[in-house]
């Protein structure tokens, strides 16, 4: 399923097999793996930029719990960094019409934000969307990384 987010003009693609959900973003060709097999998060030494995600169903709601993020500065020039205690919980629900999803997420990162923050956004089902590769301009990237 491909959905379009109102947060930024990029598509997200959801795919799954028996025990794993894949969430691919057109932005930077990122892919998140959500383990749906009942496993727990690994130890804190196993960290990555996307974190480690586990998921389960609560009725009609998909809950995705992500921890073990690598320390990094924000991907946005004016954003805040991310610490080792960062924790995100997302809740995905189909809209009543069935033509989209609502995702609500709560972010906790006690090293960088004073209190948990919650936000929601709507995703619109767009089956004809193009999941083209995200082409990166190396010169622009180098400027961003050296600032």
CA 69 from centroid of its chain's CA atoms: 12
The pTM score is: 0.78
Distance CA 1, CA 68 (A): 27
Per residue in 84-109, pLDDT (tens digit) is 899 999 999 998 888 888 999 999 99
Distance CA 145, CA 31 (A): 22
The pLDDT assigned to 99 comes to 84
Counted domains in the chain: 1
The pLDDT assigned to 3 comes to 47
Q: Is the pLDDT of residue 2 over 50?
A: no
Beta bridge partners of 16: 21
Any idea what the CATH number is for the domain that residue 125 is in?
2.40.128
Predicted confidence band at 57 (pLDDT cuts at 50, 70, 90)?
A: very high
Beta bridge partners of 105: 90, 119
- What domain range is 66 assigned to? 2-145
Q: Is the pLDDT of residue 141 over 80?
A: no
């Amino acid at each position: 399923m491909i959905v379009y987010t109102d947060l930024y003009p990029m598509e997200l693609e959801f795919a799954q097999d028996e025990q794993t959900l894949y969430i691919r973003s057109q932005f930077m060709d990122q892919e998140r793996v959500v383990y749906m097999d009942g496993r727990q998060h690994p130890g804190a030494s196993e960290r990555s930029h996307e974190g480690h995600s586990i998921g389960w169903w609560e009725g009609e709601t998909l809950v995705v719990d992500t921890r073990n993020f690598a320390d990094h500065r924000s991907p946005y020039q004016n954003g805040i960094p991310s610490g080792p205690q960062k924790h995100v919980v997302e809740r995905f629900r189909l809209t009543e019409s069935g033509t989209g999803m609502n995702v609500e997420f709560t972010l906790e990162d006690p090293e960088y934000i004073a209190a948990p923050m919650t936000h929601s956004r709507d995703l619109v089902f767009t089956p004809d969307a193009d999941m083209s590769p995200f082409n990166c301009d190396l010169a622009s990237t180098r400027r961003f990384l050296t600032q």
